[in-house]
C-alpha cells in the first residue's frame, strides 16, 4: 500500500502513499500510523501522518534506515473497521470582530458571506491530520466554491480559536500563532489542552467534524 519508502535524512523514513489527497489515501496513512503505534517498536521515536505521507523518525543509536524499513514492510496493518472515528461539533461565532477575512473571501470567491456560511455550516469535514502547531486540525474537503489561496502576506498573529480556510481545507488555530489562512470566525471550544496528557487533542485524524454557528451572546456564555 505504500508506494515508495525513502530516507529523509539519516534518522527518518519517508513513506509515500501517492500524489493524490483524498480520504482513501489518507485512511491508508492513518491505518499504517495506528498499526505502527500499536506495535510499539523499540527505537521509533515519532510518527507524522499527513494527507498522503507518513514520516517515521527513529533513534539512530538503536536503529537505522534499513532495519526500520524492513520492519515496516513486514508490518501487520490494521483493518479499516478498527479505525476509531468520533463525531465532533464545533461552535463558531462569525461576529465581525472574529471574521477577519470574510470581506476578502466575498471578493475573491465572488459570492456573498451568507452563501459562504451556508456552504460552510452544512458540511461534514474529515480530519486528515493534526499538527504544524500543537493540536491544529486539517479538515477537508471544502466545496470548490469556497476554495481560496492563503493571504499574500501572512498575519503575524492569528488569534487563538480562529477558524480559517485555505484551498480544500479548514483549520482551527489552537493558540495564537503566525498564519496565512482566511479567517471566517472563532470557536470558544478548547481544541488543544496540554493538561490532558493522554488526549490533548479534541480532534484527531479520522474524526468527523461539523461546525455550528452561534451568536455573540452564546459565544460569551461559553467562556464563562
The residues binding other proteins (CB under 8 A) are 6-12, 14, 21, 33, 45-55, 57, 60-61, 64-65, 129-136, 138, 174-175, 177, 192, 194, 197, 200-201, 204-205
Residue 93 vs 142, nearer CB to other proteins:
142
Give the position of cell 461559553: 222
Min dist CB 75 to other proteins, Å, is 17
Residue among 32, 42, 23 at smallest CA distance from 168: 23
**Strand locations in the chain, DSSP E?**
4-7, 12-16, 44-49, 53-58, 87-93, 124-130, 137-140, 155-158, 162-166, 169-172, 177-179, 182-186, 208-214
Residue 114 vs 197, nearer CB to other proteins:
197
Residue 161 vs 205, nearer CB to other proteins:
205
Min dist CB 98 to other proteins, Å, is 22
Distance separating alpha carbons of residues 179 and 102, to the nearest angstrom: 16
Distance separating alpha carbons of residues 219 and 4, to the nearest angstrom: 47
Residue 14 vs 121, nearer CB to other proteins:
14
Min dist CB 206 to other proteins, Å, is 12
Amino acid at each position: 500500500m505504500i508506494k515508495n519508502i525513502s530516507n529523509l535524512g539519516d534518522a527518518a523514513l519517508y513513506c509515500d502513499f501517492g500524489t493524490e489527497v483524498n480520504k482513501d489515501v489518507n485512511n491508508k496513512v492513518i491505518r499504517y500510523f495506528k498499526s505502527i503505534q500499536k506495535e510499539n517498536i523499540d527505537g521509533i521515536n515519532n510518527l507524522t501522518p499527513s494527507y498522503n505521507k507518513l514520516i517515521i523518525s527513529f533513534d539512530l543509536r538503536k536503529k537505522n534506515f534499513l532495519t526500520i524499513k524492513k520492519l515496516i514492510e513486514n508490518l501487520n496493518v490494521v483493518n479499516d473497521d478498527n479505525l476509531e472515528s468520533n463525531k465532533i461539533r464545533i461552535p463558531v461565532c462569525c461576529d465581525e470582530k472574529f471574521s477577519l477575512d470574510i470581506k476578502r473571501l466575498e471578493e475573491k470567491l465572488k459570492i456573498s458571506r451568507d452563501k459562504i456560511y451556508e456552504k460552510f455550516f452544512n458540511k461534514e469535514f474529515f480530519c486528515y491530520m493534526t499538527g504544524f502547531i500543537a493540536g491544529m486540525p486539517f479538515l477537508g474537503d471544502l466545496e470548490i466554491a469556497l476554495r481560496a489561496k492563503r493571504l499574500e502576506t501572512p498575519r503575524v498573529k492569528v488569534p487563538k480559536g480562529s477558524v480559517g480556510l485555505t484551498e480544500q481545507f479548514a483549520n482551527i488555530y489552537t493558540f495564537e500563532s503566525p498564519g496565512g489562512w482566511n479567517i471566517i470566525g472563532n470557536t470558544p471550544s478548547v481544541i488543544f489542552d496540554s493538561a490532558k496528557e493522554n488526549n490533548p487533542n479534541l480532534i484527531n485524524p479520522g474524526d468527523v467534524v461539523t461546525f455550528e454557528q452561534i451568536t455573540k451572546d452564546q459565544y460569551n456564555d461559553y467562556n464563562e
